[in-house]
Amino acid sequence: MSSPDRLVVTLRTAAHDLVGGCSIRDLETTLTRIVLTAVATVPGADAGGISMTEDGRTSSRSPTTETISKLDRLQSELHEGPCIDAMEHAPDDGVVTAEDLAGPDASRWPHFAPAAVEAGYCSVLSTQLVGVEDTRAALNLYAGRPHTFDDAARLTAGLFGLQAALLLHGSRQASDLQRTIDTRDVIGQATGMLMERFAVDGEEAFRMLVRSSRDTETELVDVAAWLTSEAVERRRARAPRSHRRGHPASTRSAGGGGARGGLGDERGRAR
């Protein structure tokens, strides 16, 4: 089998491994699957992890070992290393390679290189996964020996990174959509409870939630979530429960005064 054919087979296998047994809605599972598949796919890779920057904060995600987590975090803290270059200054193919951190590349990343070598890694290959808006990510692969990642490994990592980026993007979109659906559902449940409890229509019940959220400086979905969980607890106790002192969404009674603009007062205010 020729080298191009082997590469196609390798990437097809990698794609199958990435999506097999993995829910696209589970972002952390997707990240872990990306790392494990990349380590198994890219020639010479011994370990790996993902560095992801969101809203200006960079975190280490799904590292194969605690050492890799520390090295990924160190690059973020120093703002120096192959993964930083891959996320912010990647070449056209999106791949940045450190061939020998104990040799010539030590001057390229003077603070990160000694730490990586001390941890047992002389070669690093980082490939950009996403680079849109406030989110950036790079897949980081580590090898103990210098000059491990040759042109074939670089090509494989670059093509693999394209596959992984698409899957990661899909997973993020699915996760965001699921959170939106969950938020809508919990607000809908809370609105229905208020309609029943205070004999108001849907618009009035929603205004009660909004007013409580505003008065207590609490997210609307958090007020709704507390209300629904409080109702579940009352049902489990099989008896009405008194309001929780100090909670921003207190529901003492339909006519009583709620703490800090609680929902008990909201019926009158919403009208």
263 and 157 in a common domain: no
Question: Is residue 134, in this structure, part of any structural domain at all?
Answer: yes
Residues 6+ apart with CB under 8 A from 241: 230, 233, 234
What pLDDT, on a 0 to 100 scale, did the predictor assign at position 81?
94
249 and 161 in a common domain: no
Residues 6+ apart with CB under 8 A from 222: 213
118 and 221 in a common domain: no
Distance (Å, whole) CA 61 – CA 68: 10
pLDDT under 50: residue ranges of the chain: 2, 240, 243-246, 248-261, 266-271
208 and 84 in a common domain: no
Predicted confidence (pLDDT) per residue in 56-112, tens digit: 778 888 899 999 999 999 999 999 999 999 988 878 888 999 999 999 999 999 999
Question: Is residue 194, in this structure, part of any structural domain at all?
Answer: no
Tally the domains of the chain: 2
Question: Is residue 193, in this structure, part of any structural domain at all?
Answer: no
Give, as one character, the DSSP assignment of residue 242: P
Q: What are the Cα distances from residue 270, in Å, to 7, 219, 266?
A: 64, 18, 6
263 and 143 in a common domain: no
What pLDDT, on a 0 to 100 scale, did the predictor assign at position 131?
55
Distance (Å, whole) CA 228 – CA 182: 13
For residues 208 and 194, is the Cβ–Cβ distance under 8 A? yes
User: Structural domain of residue 259, as residue ranges?
Assistant: 199-270
Give, as one character, the DSSP assignment of residue 104: G
CATH of the domain at 120: 3.30.450.80
Question: Is residue 106, in this structure, part of any structural domain at all?
Answer: yes
What pLDDT, on a 0 to 100 scale, did the predictor assign at position 171?
62
Q: Structure pTM?
A: 0.62
- Residue 103 carries which side chain, given as an amino acid letter? G
For residues 94 and 161, is the Cβ–Cβ distance under 8 A? yes
